[in-house]
Structure 1
Amino acid sequence: MSNSSNFLNDIREAKGQLVVGPNVIPNALPYVGGGLVLTALGTYGGLTVIQTNPGIFMPSFIVALIAELVLFFIARGVAEKANNSTALPLLATYSLLSGYTLSGLVYVALGTEGVGMQGIAFAALGCGVAFVFARQIGSNLSEQDGLALTQTIQMALVAFLVVILAQVIFSLFGVYTPNWLEIAISGFGVFLFCGVAVVDFFILPRTYRDEQYLSAALSMYLTYINLFVFILRLLIAIFGRD
């Protein structure tokens, strides 16, 4: 799962605050779109490596993953200072690396009967539909309802991160998640990040000033990348079952 600590950090900073950046989301949206395009390019690059030189993919994946995690914290810190000219190339590089590390999952989806390219398109469409509904709902939440939903999503996200971490640790020891449990985890991930998408439209204008649009863009980018990942995981678990 892509790094979600940005969302939890936003919640801590936004509690009890009024709107400080009424235009931060409109300012951020072009950069969210640009980041997703770069992620697609990174994914294409990763798929090319898998198909042409599979032996180097895993070592390069590990290097890219470590670089992605390090770059995330550097880019977030720079973006929060509204140093946008420096943050932009960092976030662009982060998006490319994110796409490269995502290519393994996409490769599995392409090779799963019943998923394939149409499943990837469905996952992307699902993210677009979630954005439309999340914008309508999240932008119209009252302060009381918005804070209540935010706190609920925060608790669920923390618990979910623990589950995902346990799943990764078990897999390192050769203990893999049963298919029915993978379906349940992935389905809950889809539901959870739809909720995060709603909360983004409530919380980001209360967290970031208008000139901090790259920080808001990073938060929204992570939301939709994670949503895409869990929709794809759900499809693979359903159609790839034994």
Structure 2
Amino acid sequence: MFSRLAVVPHPPLLVPELVSGAAPETEPVRAETLAAARALASHSADWVAVGVDPSGPREVADVAGGFTGFGVDVPVALSEGATAVDDDLPLPALVAGWLRGRVGARSVRVHLVPPDLPPDECAALGARLAGAPALLVLGDGSPRHGELAVGRSDERAGPFDEAVHRALAAADVDALRALDPGLAAELGAQGRAAWQVAAGVPGAWRCARSAFRAPFGVGYHWAVWEA
């Protein structure tokens, strides 16, 4: 049974080599994410992760890859001894592997789910995953905040991500389950499916830490839950 859960975003800007001269500007996002990952690693060296990608549903584990597709060959591995190579690992798996290596965890097994996975199927997957002590949940909020919005700004992005932040800060699984998939899709908040998988994990949760930022027009959420 999971007894600790960490929610983090997965933008490429987490990796310093990918942002070069912008590394100082992106450091607050990186620091929050690494702090949440360290909290997970201090609890267990072996993680289960869930992230959102159109290639889901599928599972990836015990492979290596890299960020070559993002412009720089930064290698990552999903386990310490991984020798098989997957050159097409999606971003959530790459970030999960990068975090694993940065904080010294031993392995991470990544479950990828499609962005349109219905809430009841998200909850069912969360229930099925509850067999390991540590869960890493990767997902970004809306990219439509303010003047730096990706594409166009949307006044609904603020209330949506504030509702997500309140739910994560309160470990309110009912509020997470109630998130509207249609609204999330309109706002580009693909993390919705991963958060609703987390909401389906059995347990009496409390939130040990949480944060929300939208420094580049994208909503980034962090939380650490303990059973």
Q: Is the TM-score greater than 0.5? A: no
The structure showing larger relative contact order (alpha-carbon pairs under 8 Å, at least 6 residues apart) is 1
What is the TM-score with the length of structure 1 in the denominator? 0.27
Q: Which has the larger radius of gyration?
A: 1
What is the TM-score with the length of structure 2 in the denominator? 0.29
The structure with the greater share of residues assigned to helix is 1
